[in-house]
Amino acid sequence: MPEHRDILCLSHLRWGFVYQRPNHLMARWAQDRRVFFVEEPVFDSASPALRRELVGPRLHVVTPHLPAGTAPEQGEHLQRELIDELVREQGLELPILWFYTPLALGWAGHVRRAVTVYDCMDELSHFHGAPAALKSREKQLFGVADLVFTGGQSLYEAKRKEHPRVHAFPISVDVEHFQAARSVSAEPADQAGIRRPRVGFVGVIDERMDLELLRGVAELCPELEFVLLGPVVKIAPESLPRLPNIHWLGAKSYAELPSYIAGWDVAMMPFAQNDATKFISPTKTLEYLAAGKPVVSTPVRDVVRPYGEQGLVRIADAPASFASALRAALADPAHNPARDALLARTSWDATFLEMRRLVEAELSGAGARSEKERRAECTTM
């Protein structure tokens, strides 16, 4: 049995932002080992400091705090020192180093580790405001990673030539959590007064959402009410369409989501067709299906294949066709054997167990590189 090595996870996402892939996986790793989830820095401190919060048994969220106005190069230097402090104080001897952002190589790439994992959940270089160094850092990360996981099939196809051991781990779902929506009766107060039928969306509201499509569909469907949940980031709030039948209810906790989704008649994914959505694999697809809701989406590749091809999600790419798909979806039967068969073989638990199997194979030496090679890599970071 491989030893339970600690995990040092470097993330571009904050633990408390939106509960998604890193949260699901790190919470499961923490069931039998310590996990240190290191966020990107906050620039609000008089002097460099690490703040550590225990958010669950063995699960530590670590946030570097740096002085305001710290230059990028100096920031990397200070974060390296803070990471060294964390490694020393917590006795992190050859941990599993788990990257969500290649930029973290600048402050954690020197850490001696047993296994290096790059869990590539998005094509970050395509996002609005992405740092110029992302592509070069990712190339470096491919050079030192033992395993590369991708957050979807399209991303796998784009990355598989970059590394000899790339594995596709598409979106998954906590079925039980979202199936609770099928039996919820109490309405959240801020949604209860909205008339029906309702069409809902939950997720980060940013450059990936087609706001003009949303506006056009809402204008074409005055009989439908559109409910949107989630934080607005990287776009101006005033750019959001404001119509009587569009309701922006803000961010909700993961625990609250089933109670909101329960009150929808159709779920939607009005994603824009741009660089930021080229490789996305929306977690909400399976969450909506688990909640028992018909789904309408724009033609995102990882939604079209397999969910659109299997008839589990309606696909439309213009206001008129999207409006027609929403109206048709209102008549979909509540019971869908194909949907439930898919959900029966899909879970974050299964995804985690397969990832753990691959990591443990590396720890046991099956396919792993030598410690000599690993030390050489560390010295070049």
Residue 92 has pLDDT above 90, yes or no: yes
Residues 6+ apart with CB under 8 A from 72: none
Q: What is the pLDDT at residue 231?
A: 96
Domain 7-172+347-380: CATH superfamily is Glycogen Phosphorylase B; (3.40.50.2000)
Average pLDDT over residues 148-176: 94
Q: Are 319 and 213 in contact (CB under 8 A)?
A: yes
Q: What is the pLDDT at residue 3?
A: 67
Q: What is the pLDDT at residue 45?
A: 85
| Segments making up each domain of the chain, as ranges | 7-172+347-380, 175-342
pTM for the whole structure: 0.89
Cα gap 39→99, rounded to integer Å:
11
The model's pLDDT over 242-275, given as tens digits with 9 standing for 90+, comes to 999 999 999 999 999 999 999 999 999 999 999 8
The model's pLDDT over 286-341, given as tens digits with 9 standing for 90+, comes to 999 999 999 999 999 999 999 999 999 999 999 999 999 999 999 999 899 999 99
For 304, phi then psi, to 5°, come to: -55, -45
Domain 175-342 has CATH 3.60.40.10: no
And the tokens for 354?
């397969």
pLDDT-derived band at 377, boundaries 50, 70, 90: very low
Cα gap 197→327, rounded to integer Å:
10
Per DSSP bridges, beta strands 7-10 and 225-229 are unpaired
Q: Is 262 left (phi over 0), alpha (psi -120 to 50) or beta?
A: alpha
Exposure string (b/e) for 233-261, b if CB count within 10 Å is 16 or more?
eeeeeeebbeeebbbebeebeeeebbbbb
The model's pLDDT over 198-217, given as tens digits with 9 standing for 90+, comes to 999 999 999 999 999 999 99
| Burial group, residue 264, by CB count within 10 angstroms (0-12, 13-18, 19+) | buried
Residue 380 has pLDDT above 80, yes or no: no
Q: Are 22 and 9 in contact (CB under 8 A)?
A: yes
For 167, phi then psi, to 5°, come to: -125, 130
175-342 shares the fold of 7-172+347-380: yes
